[in-house]
Structure 1
């Protein structure tokens, strides 16, 4: 799987170009599935927020509204009730998975429960486009500052670990007093491993283990 891990969606020309390069063809020739699940686990999530994401009504975080050939809705909490034989072909038929923000550990839980997490390694050509928590979920851990819902049973800070670094999103976002660089430095110390703080004009691209930062804004790498 190819990863485009963003803080604020496809916000600028550089991130847009990276997406096109990963897809290997124009967006208007690509099928996408959008995944709103993470939003339901966050205290600020709402039915209205999920609707705005899946209908492309959130222009400040462009994802669904990019001009895809087709867009479908994939709600992970529904998948265990219908069986993999039905939903796997939907996922395999998509060029891109557009994954909303919210609570990363809630998303990680439902990715495991649904079976999507286990399927990801076999999706060689699919592009995972993460927004905030939709990006953080790929990390080994998210850090105490970003835990909203403790996972059932273990309660551990354990995301999917598909990449070997953690992500601090929305760096220096206006009105987010807890997202300053000083807060990111404290968070990185607690994480203790490789980590990136990225603003909404920045994305991290991962292809075959090779990591590249795509940015028209501010970011910082913490070596751990």
Structure 2
């Protein structure tokens, strides 16, 4: 699987071009599945109107509204209650997974409970994460980002990439997300850690990491 891990979605031409390159064909020829699950675990974004805005492509962060051939909804919390033959083929045939922001630990929990976590690396699809949808791929998220608490009480996430992510650097709606705060956060992480603004994404193909940015970012090494 190829990963495009964004802070704020497909926010500029550089990130858009990176996505098209990873897909290997025009967006208009690609079938997408959007995953809103992370939103339900975060008090700012779900459930309710924000989840609908993401699914319908009405939100300001470009993800669902890029002109896909088709878009479906994959709700991870529902998957354990239905036969896997009804949803596994759908995932295996899709071109791209669009994973919303919200709460990374809530998303991680349902990735595991649904069986999705076990499938990800075997898929041919491009995984496009936004905020928590990107952070969930890291080994852990750090205490700074713990909101919803999982049953084991830890901040451990899927670990499908070997670095952690501090999103929304210097965002006007998040005054605490400063470079100084990111540096304090990074000092408690176990491996490489990226702080990045909404004009930045990280592309990972076969373990090779590339930063795509028209904004600002910083890599903190352990």
What is aligned with 1:132? 131
SS at match of 1:182: helix
What is aligned with 1:91? 91
Query: What is the TM-score of this pair, normalised by structure 2?
Result: 0.98
C-alpha deviation, 1:89, in angstroms: 0.6
C-alpha deviation, 1:175, in angstroms: 2.9
Q: How does 1:5-16 map to 2 (within 5 A)?
A: 5-16=5-16
> Number of residue pairs matched?
221
User: Is 1:116 matched up with 2:116?
Assistant: yes
C-alpha deviation, 1:83, in angstroms: 2.3
What is aligned with 1:162? 160
Q: Deviations over 1:148-186 (max 9, x none)?
A: 11112x111110000000000000001312100000000
C-alpha deviation, 1:43, in angstroms: 1.5
Q: Deviations over 1:75-103 (max 9, x none)?
A: 00000000222110110111000000000
Distance 1:215 1:174 in 2: 18
C-alpha deviation, 1:191, in angstroms: 1.2
What is aligned with 2:23? 23
Stretches of 4+ aligned residues off by more than 4 angstroms: none
Distance 1:86 1:2 in 2: 24
Q: Deviations over 1:115-168 (max 9, x none)?
A: 000001111x2100000000000000001111111112x111110000000000
Distance 1:9 1:129 in 2: 8
SS at match of 1:65: coil
Structure 2 unaligned regions, length at least 5: none
Structure 1 unaligned regions, length at least 5: none
Distance 1:192 1:177 in 2: 25
SS at match of 1:22: helix
Distance 1:6 1:122 in 2: 21
Q: 1:27 touches 1:67 (CA, 8 Å); kept in 2?
A: yes
Query: What is the TM-score of this pair, normalised by structure 1?
Result: 0.97
Distance 1:129 1:2 in 2: 9
Distance 1:164 1:218 in 2: 21
Distance 2:189 2:218 in 1: 15
RMSD of the TM alignment (CA)?
0.7
C-alpha deviation, 1:192, in angstroms: 3.5
Distance 1:91 1:207 in 2: 19
SS at match of 2:176: helix
Distance 1:13 1:45 in 2: 26
